[in-house]
Amino acid sequence: MKQRMESTQREKLMRGRADWKVKHEVRVEAGYLESFVRELFEKAGMERGDAQFHAEALVQTDLWGISSHGCMRVPAYFERMRNGAINVRPNVRKVSGEGAFEVLDADAGAGFIAGKRAMERAMELAKKYHIAAVGVRNSNHFGAGAVYARMAAKEGMAGIAMTNVLPLVTAPGASRPVTGNNPIAVAIPTYGDFPFCLDMALSKVAGGKLTLAIKRGEKIPMDWATDEEGRPTDDPEKAFKGFLLPVGGYKGLGLAYVVDILSGVVTGGVFSHQMKSMYAQPTEPSLTGHFFVAVDIDAVIDREQMKQRMGEYFRRIKETPMWEEGAEMLLPGELEYRKEKERRENGIPVPVKTYEELLELKKTWGLQAELPEKQN
C-alpha cells in the first residue's frame, strides 16, 4: 500500500513538471508577468520584497528558457501559500554553525526566499573567509538552482547551489527509488556576455520526456527509466509508473547521494523518503533542504586576469571541430543567454493552460496587474 502511494506521488510530481512541454502557448512580456506574479503573491500574504524577488526569479528562469521551473508553477505555489504549506512570513534563522559554515532553518517558507538569504549569507561570509557554505533545512521548492549560483557570479564569486528532491531515481537493478534527481548548479564569473553556468538534475532525463513519448506513441531508450519492478523498459507508459535512472549510471547516482547528504543529512533536515511532494501533498511543507557555497575568486586572481583566462578557456572549447555541418559547441550558460535575448524581444512563451489559470486568478483575486498577450 505504501509503495503504491509513493508511486502515485511520483506520477503526480512528474506530471506536474512535464505538462508544460506539450501545450500550445501565448507570448507575454517579462515585465507584465513579473508585476502580475508579485501582486498575486502579495495577495497570498508575502511581504512586498519577498514577493518581488520570487516573481523576478520565476520570470528570469523563463527568460533563460528553463520553462519547467518558471511561471507555469505560479498557480501551484499560490495554492500552497493559501493552504499554509508555504509559510508566507517565515522567520528564517540561523540554527547552527560558526565561522565559514552555517545552517539556516527556513521555517517552512518559500524555497526562493530561503535560497536568496542563504546565498547572500554565504557571500557575506566568503568576503571574510574567502570560501563559505550555508545549508538550509525545513524549506520548500526553490526553483532553478541557477538563480542562486548566478547571484554569486554577479558579485565576482563562484557560486554553487543544490537541493534534495523527493525520491524519483532508482539504482540500476533496484526495485524502488533510492533518491531524488537532486539538481546542482554552478556559476563562475567570466566578465563577458554571460557567466559559466551549469544547472542540471541528476537523472538521465526529466519526467517530461516520458510524457512526451506517451503522447507521441514513441518508444524510449532502455537507459532512461525502469518499470515498477526496476526492470529497464522502452515502454514510456511503464516507465511513467516506475522510476527514472541516474545520469551516468552509478556515477550520477553517487552525485545525487552527495546532494541529498549535504542538503538533508548535514543540515539536520529531512532526506530521501522523508520529504513531502508539493503535488501529491499540497497542504504540507515539502521540508526540502538546500546547500549553497560561495568562493571569493578575487582572493587569488584579479578580475582582468580572470576575464582573459576564461576567454582563452572558452575560445579553445568553441574552436572544437564538429563533424556535423552547421553544428557548434555551446558553453554552459550560452543557450540561456541567447534565449533571454530572444524572449526579451518577443515575449515569454506561456502554455495556454497556464495563461488561462493566471487569468482566472486575476479575476478571482481582483488583481490590478495586466497580463496582455504580446502582439508581434
Write out pLDDT tens, residues 134-158: 999 999 999 999 999 999 999 999 9
25-83+347-365 is classed in which CATH architecture?
Orthogonal Bundle (1.10)
Compute the mean pLDDT over every residue in the chain, rounded to the nearest whole number: 92
Q: Over 70: is that where the pLDDT of 129 sits?
A: yes
**What pLDDT digit, counting tens, does each position of 259-302 carry?**
999 999 999 999 999 999 888 899 999 999 999 999 999 999 99
Residues 6+ apart with CB under 8 A from 240: 11, 14, 207, 210, 211, 214, 225
Domain boundaries, the chain: 25-83+347-365, 93-203+246-296
Give the pLDDT of residue 326. 87
Write the DSSP string, 185-204.
EEEE--SSSS-EEEEE-SBS
Q: Over 60: is that where the pLDDT of 223 sits?
A: yes
Whole-angstrom Cα distance, residue 105 to residue 134? 11
Q: Over 90: is that where the pLDDT of 99 sits?
A: yes
| DSSP H/E element including 227 | none
Summarize the confidence of residues 107-122 as an average pLDDT: 99
Summarize the confidence of residues 44-73 as an average pLDDT: 96
Residue 173 backbone dihedrals phi, psi, to 5 degrees: 95, -10
Give me the count of residues in the chain. 376
Right CATH for 93-203+246-296 from 3.30.1370.60, 3.40.50.670, 3.50.50.100, 3.90.1150.150: 3.30.1370.60
Give the pLDDT of residue 1. 47
pTM score, whole prediction: 0.89
Q: Over 70: is that where the pLDDT of 9 sits?
A: no
Give the pLDDT of residue 300. 98
